[in-house]
Amino acid sequence: MAGTCSFDVTSTVDLQEVDNALNQARKEVVQRYDFKGSKADIEFSRQENTITLVADDEFKMQALWEIVQGRMVKRQVPVKNLTLGEITRGANDTVRRVITLQQGISSDASRAIVKFIKDRKLKKVQAAIQADQLRISSPSRDELQGVMQLLREQDFGIALQFGNYRES
């Protein structure tokens, strides 16, 4: 009798890589001519999973965001997991933007992924929500490979990682 195989679907951001990318972005801001003499700051809170950008105006805020985004891509941090907040007025005629890091799969995204898998009517494929991750199981390895391929092709608004492949 064949056992079942399973894998986990997660969505995480490596906080050390985020920290490294932000340090590189800070160095670039100091070197750039268009930021000379202006207020530009990047703050990172690991506890709250937030990045706060501060700039003189909305134009500089956009430039600062492009620098941060470019550094995140170079450090292979999934920018899909960054949720941009609104630009708000801060002290001393500055503007602020809070960016939230998405750790784990939200319940809405989990339900959307499970519904997507069930709508494909794959034989014997089970999807179970486990807190902020999903476990996909099936007796057939080929079916699991097919599910991975389908999930890679679909956009759920977050970067998905596959791991913890098991046979039991």
Chain mean position to CA 98 = 15
Give the residue-averaged pLDDT of 48-54: 93
User: What's the pLDDT tens digit per position in 104-118?
Assistant: 888 888 999 999 988
* List of long-range contacts for 116-119, beta carbons under 8 Å, 24+ apart: 116/150, 116/151, 116/154, 116/156, 117/147, 117/150, 117/151
Residue pLDDT, tens place only, 129-159:
888 889 999 888 888 888 889 999 988 888 8
- Whole-structure pTM value: 0.81
Q: What is the C-alpha separation between 41 and 98, in angstroms, rounded?
A: 12
Q: Are strands 40-45 and 161-167 parallel, antiparallel or unpaired?
A: unpaired
Q: What contacts 48, CB < 8 A, 6 or more positions away?
A: none
Look up the CATH superfamily of 15-101. YajQ-like, domain 2 (3.30.70.990)
pLDDT value of residue 131: 84
CATH of 5-11+105-167, one of 3.40.50.300, 3.30.70.860, 3.30.43.10, 3.50.50.60: 3.30.70.860
CATH 3.30.70.860 range(s) for the chain read 5-11+105-167
Helix (H) or strand (E) holding 138: strand 133-138
- In the chain, CATH 3.30.70.990 sits at 15-101
**Could you give the angle at the alpha carbon of 46 between the alpha carbons of 44 and 48, nearest 5°?**
95
53's enclosing H/E stretch is strand 50-55
